[in-house]
Structure 1
Amino acid sequence: MKKTAIIPLRKGSKGIPGKNKKKMLGRPLFSWVLTEAIFSDLDEVYVFTDDQEIIDYVEREYHWSSKVKALLRNAENASDIASTESVLLEFAENINQDFDILSLLQATSPMTLASDINATLNEIIQNKKDAALTVVNTHRFTWNADGTSQNYDVFKRPRRQDFGGLLIENGAVYTTTKEAFLNSKNRISGTIGLVKMPEETLVEIDSLSDWDIVEKLLAERLKKSKIHQRIDYLILDVDGVFTDGSVYYSPDGELAKKFDMRDGMGLEIIRQNQVEVIVLTSENSELVAQRMKKLQIKNTFLGVKDKFSFLRQFLLDRNSSFGAAAYVGDDVNDLANICSVGWSFAPSNATEIVKTNADYVLNNDSGNGAIRETCEIILKYNKRYERI
């Protein structure tokens, strides 16, 4: 049974210009649900868009996952008056209806988890529903425009704990069988299963104030999910961590970066204590490649923009998790990992937003002993896991 998902994206956005590519916790908005789709039970997930820049990004950043595909969408069907159903029908035709189950995933619902996607699939596969969608159980009292209450008796106002509330679509996930979709030409039809998501997922991103609310909720959820255990992996950004963030350029391009020799010794010591060092940078620098080769750091990954999804897959391949990782970063593209790993560190000269979200703000600046300080802290911390 082939389980396929579509994430429809439009280049244009009136409420928040460039919304789908705007950075939420340092990652493009659409990448949050895309990552969860990758780690769900789906067999494939298509980013369906009229934006060639997004297609290029997806093909470049997610080459490590065979699930992910990008497909160009008809510009005429990407207007703000085009219906979602028309987009689904266009998509189904483009892939020759090669699916048994189709999931619609909305990029504007970054709080969606792989477990939410799987739950809608299970409604169809295990509970034999024709379709399923995600909802939120809200305990709000609702009213009609004529001043009459909709869902309660004003003279018998129920206590929250006694009130069943209302189930409201949150627009995150819609899943349907191929047969039901082709017959109804609608995202949900026939017998429909409901999957409850937390109440905070009801916030829709239509304005910048909505954006700020969801970003804070997302950061807090990641932090609350942290697990503390022995640190087996130390993940390091380069610019602003190994270096002070400066770079010298010549007419031929990048000329020089300054590295701290004490950091190199700290990394040698921590590896001797069974902590694996990984370098993860968005830049594609030959100077960095040469320096990491000198430091004998085999796991050096250059040109990685979506560090969060890449690290998640890296740890999964090693049967590990974020709880066994420490991360040092300095800027917004490190935020998702800063909020997720067991212990996160920010150099003293990191950006304020990173220092606000990091577990530990170091005394030393980047390129001036920050990595060495991190190594010493981790070595002390790991001692509590040593057998007596």
Structure 2
Amino acid sequence: MKNIKLIVLDVDGVLTDGSLYIGSNEVEYKQFNTQDGMGITIAHYAGLKTAIITGRKSEAVAKRAKELKINYVYQGISNKLEVLSELLTELRLKEEEICYMGDDINDLPILKTAGVSFAPDNAVGLVKESVDIVTKHSGGNGAVREMVESILREQTNFEELVHEFIYEKNKVIQ
């Protein structure tokens, strides 16, 4: 985990609990976790880049990604591995420098390619069997935060990083 420079995330089942709420007005609603948001904010503070690659397209995801200043956002993607390969080329990164968290079978190609792979506790069995680490938390309930802290504890003195983050009086987005 010491070499990770880019965290790549799926959305449904990772940043959310996987539930879809579609109103009669055809607007899609998603529930995000503020602790995951803080984890992403701390990851950015530590110098890590972040990306979302998701199969669905949602205004809620675009809004949340903008709030959290996610560096790269790809929605409506059927071939996630192809998009990741293009992103790695653009950023001049190697596969071992990325971490990916996914929860379902469409995430398997990236999970098998990533330097470090994570799945939330609520991931399907085949995914949990294929990843390096399964978090104690489920998607939408702190799994991303748990992953970020695991990475940062390997890369830095985490307590010192948090202390610096707090007292730098950063504008915090959760």
Structure 1 length as normaliser, TM-score? 0.39
3-state SS of paired residue (2:60): helix
Equivalent AA in structure 2 for residue 258 of structure 1: Q
Structure 2 counterpart of 1:306, from 79, 94, 101: 79
Q: Offset of 1:268 from its aligned partner?
A: 0.5
Larger radius of gyration: 1
- Cross-structure match for 1:234: 7
CA deviation after TM superposition for structure 1 residue 298, in Å? 3.3
Alignment match, 1:244: 17
| Distance (whole Å) between structure 2 residues aligned to residue 297 and residue 358 of structure 1 | 23
| Greater relative CO, 1 or 2 (CA 8 Å, sep 6+) | 2
Distance 1:383 1:256 in 2: 36
Give the structure with the higher percent strand.
1
Identify which of 55, 63, 67 aligns with 1:290: 63
Task: Indicate the SS of the match to 1:253.
Answer: coil
1:379 pairs with one of 152, 157, 166: 152
Query: Partner residue of 2:99?
Result: 326
Counterpart amino acid of residue 297 in structure 1: I
Cα separation, 1, equivalents of 2:13 and 2:62 = 16
Residue 308 of structure 1 aligns with an amino acid whose one-letter code is L
The CA deviation at 1:356 is 0.3
* Unaligned ranges ≥5, structure 1: 1-227
Pairwise mapping of residues 267-282 of structure 1 onto structure 2 (< 5 A)? Answer: 267-282=40-55
Residue 364 (str. 1) matches residue 137 (str. 2): yes
Please list the CA deviations of residues 11-36 of structure 1 after superposition, one character each: whole Å capped at 9, or x if unmatched.
xxxxxxxxxxxxxxxxxxxxxxxxxx
Cα RMSD, aligned residues only: 1.4
- Contact in 2 for aligned 1:247/1:254 (Cα 8 Å): no
Could you tell me which amino acid in structure 1 is paired with residue 135 of structure 2?
A: L
Q: 1:350 aligns with which of 114, 117, 123?
A: 123
Q: Percent identity?
A: 38
Q: Which amino acid aligns with 1:359?
A: D
Displacement, 1:229? 5.4
SS state at 2:7 partner: strand
- Which residue in the other structure is 2:89 paired with? 316
Aligned counterparts of 1:294 and 1:383: Cα–Cα separation in 2: 25
Q: Deviations over 1:195-227 (max 9, x none)?
A: xxxxxxxxxxxxxxxxxxxxxxxxxxxxxxxxx
Q: Say whether 1:263 aligns with 2:20.
A: no
Q: Is the 8 A contact 1:237 1:329 kept in 2?
A: yes
Contact 1:346 1:360 in 2 (8 A): yes
Letter in 2 for 1:283: R
Deviations, residues 104-140 of structure 1 (Å, cap 9, x unaligned): xxxxxxxxxxxxxxxxxxxxxxxxxxxxxxxxxxxxx
Q: TM-score normalized by structure 2?
A: 0.86
Aligned to 2:166: none
Cα distance in 2 between the residues matched to 1:321 and 1:305: 22
Query: Shift of residue 234 of structure 1?
Result: 0.2
5 Å-filtered alignment, 1:1-388, equals 230-383=3-156
Unaligned residue ranges in structure 2 (runs of 5+): 158-174
Alignment partners' CA distance in 2, 1:321 and 1:339 = 14
Contact 2:2-2:154 at 8 Å conserved across structures: no
SS of residue in 2 equivalent to 1:258: coil
Q: Is the 8 A contact 1:229 1:342 kept in 2?
A: no
**Alpha-carbon displacement from aligned partner over 1:53-77 (angstroms, at most 9, x marks no partner):** xxxxxxxxxxxxxxxxxxxxxxxxx
Aligned 8 A contact 1:346 1:361 in 2? yes
Distance in structure 2 (CA, Å) of the matches to 1:357 and 1:339: 7
Query: Could you tell me whether the CA contact under 8 Å between 2:120 and 2:138 is conserved in 1?
Result: yes
| Alignment partners' CA distance in 1, 2:95 and 2:101 | 13
